[in-house]
Amino acid sequence: EDAEKSGYDHYMLKEIHEQPKALRQCLRGRIDDLDGTVDLEDLADLDHEGPIQFVACGTSYHAALFGAERLQRAGVRAQAFLASEYASDRVPVDDETLVVGVTQSGETADTLRALREAARAGATTLAVTNTVASSAARECDHALYIRAGPEIGVAATKTFASQQLALALLAFTLSDGPTREELEALRDIPGQVRTVLETTEARAVAEEYVDADAYFFIGRGYHYPVALEGALKMKEITYRHAEGFAAGELKHGPLALVTEDTPVFAVVTGDDETARKTIGNVKEVEARDAPVVAITDGESDVTRYADHVLEIPAVSDLGGSVLANVQLQLVAYWVANLLGRSIDKPRNLAKSVTVE
Ligand code: AGP
């Protein structure tokens, strides 16, 4: 087993470090350099113009939120649902609808049930999965493989990054297509993830806050699913209380939980209206003496209000959310490591959840 971990103490850390390779595999052969288009061979016979619904659980649901947001920004009617809450008699689903199941394993019972229900209602179904010949891949009308390679750690890491990238490619295919800048930004992501993996601040931040009462994560737009994912990763491998919030929601309740013993991780990239609004929320928590950890490309002045900075390269907000998530994976890993947790097999959790 030690040989399989290639010198890393845990599969999770190994898989975090495999992300540049996983992302390159995800992109391979799918971008046509000559005419600047995305070419998904897996979906050559998918021709869809109607609404799109995503169904997924856990980390895959966070990736689905990210995919839905990209499509919405392109003017496509798209929505992400928790598979366990999806019911075809409550949401409008018919033969005009494409229902996309996002599932690393392809075996998650809740997601399979939602897909089957959607298929019965006449929808076209698509599995976005890591596992060739999984139930989801076999049962759906179409399959798009994320090509992350096997993931052993129960906590999903490289598969989340690969889902983000695959869903960005899917969104480009199902909408207007990417601009040249967007394509170049996508292609740069694997190398930028490598740059993030060379930084050491995440470990220092973990050491500083290993005894915190709770950990909060905030973000807007593409960074909202990253806030949710940062909190989920922290919960599942450290067993500590962690919550992710849409940054604008803080003042509607969660702010009451914020104290000097609850670090707030804020994802802020660029220097646009979205960044400025999140910085406004950062000031709200700073005023309550909460330690602020900014995950940022340094384009805005969020660093003025932060106690710690986890740097990422400057890219689009879409790419920035992939990079920011890598920093949060590292923080969760190092907190769990310091606490001596069973990182690869957290208590009560299974890699693939085959019951509803
Ligand atoms: C995340 O770290 C967990 N492993 C979990 O939330 C997982 O993403 C969820 O159970 C869905 O699994 P799937 O992608 O295989 O469907």
Cβ of residue 352 lying under 6 Å from some atom of ligand 1: yes
Nearest atom of ligand 1 to the alpha carbon of 58:
6
Q: What is the pLDDT of residues 38-55, one digit of tens each?
A: 989 999 899 899 999 999
- pLDDT for residue 34 is more than 80: no
- pLDDT for residue 3 is more than 80: no
**How many CA atoms lie within 13 Å of 258's alpha carbon, on the beta-carbon side?**
27
Q: Are 268 and 279 in contact (CB under 8 A)?
A: yes
Catalytic residues: 351
CA of 349 to the centre of ligand 1 (A): 10
Rounded CA separation 141/200 (Å) = 44
Closest CA to 330 of 265, 284, 286, 270: 265
Q: What is the pLDDT of residues 179-205, one digit of tens each?
A: 888 888 899 999 999 999 999 999 999
Cβ of residue 297 lying under 6 Å from some atom of ligand 1: no
**How many CA atoms lie within 13 Å of 55's alpha carbon, on the beta-carbon side?**
32
Nearest atom of ligand 1 to the alpha carbon of 59:
8
- pLDDT for residue 2 is more than 80: no
Rounded CA separation 259/50 (Å) = 46
pLDDT at 315: 87
Rounded CA separation 237/27 (Å) = 29
Per the structure block, which two tokens stand in for 313? 């390269």
Q: What percent of the chain has pLDDT over 90?
A: 89
pLDDT at 178: 86
pLDDT at 353: 92
- pTM greater than the 0.95 cutoff: yes
Rounded CA separation 308/310 (Å) = 7
Q: Are 257 and 214 in contact (CB under 8 A)?
A: yes
Region of poorest pLDDT, from 4-8, 61-65, 142-146, 197-201: 4-8
- What does DSSP assign to residue 137? H
Q: Ligand 1 pocket check: which of 54, 55, 57, 164 to mutate, most ligand atoms within 8 Å of Cβ?
A: 57
Mean pLDDT across 294-320: 95
Average pLDDT, the chain: 95
Mean pLDDT across 214-233: 98
Q: What is the pLDDT of residues 157-185, one digit of tens each?
A: 999 999 999 999 999 999 988 888 888 88
Q: What is the pLDDT of residues 57-68, one digit of tens each?
A: 999 999 999 999
The pLDDT confidence band at residue 37, using thresholds 50, 70 and 90, is: confident
CA of 99 to the centre of ligand 1 (A): 18
CA of 156 to the centre of ligand 1 (A): 6
CA of 137 to the centre of ligand 1 (A): 16
pLDDT at 348: 94
pLDDT at 239: 98
Q: What is the pLDDT of residues 226-265, one digit of tens each?
A: 999 999 999 999 999 999 999 999 999 999 999 999 999 9
Mean pLDDT across 142-151: 97
pLDDT at 254: 95
Residue 124, φ and ψ in degrees, nearest 5:
-80, 140
Closest CA to 336 of 76, 11, 7: 11
Cβ of residue 234 lying under 6 Å from some atom of ligand 1: no
Cβ of residue 109 lying under 6 Å from some atom of ligand 1: no
Rounded CA separation 27/132 (Å) = 17
pLDDT at 163: 98
Which residue reads 């619904």 in tokens? 53
Residue 74, φ and ψ in degrees, nearest 5:
-90, 5
pLDDT at 318: 85
Cβ of residue 53 lying under 6 Å from some atom of ligand 1: no
pLDDT at 66: 97
Residue 55 pairs in a beta bridge with 81, 101
Cβ of residue 300 lying under 6 Å from some atom of ligand 1: no
Which residue reads 């905030």 in tokens? 218
Q: Are 124 and 97 in contact (CB under 8 A)?
A: yes
Q: Ligand 1 pocket check: which of 84, 345, 353 to mutate, most ligand atoms within 8 Å of Cβ?
A: 353
Cβ of residue 156 lying under 6 Å from some atom of ligand 1: yes
pLDDT at 213: 97
Mean pLDDT across 3-32: 94
The pLDDT confidence band at residue 206, using thresholds 50, 70 and 90, is: very high
- pLDDT for residue 298 is more than 80: yes
CA of 55 to the centre of ligand 1 (A): 12
Type of residue found at 161: A
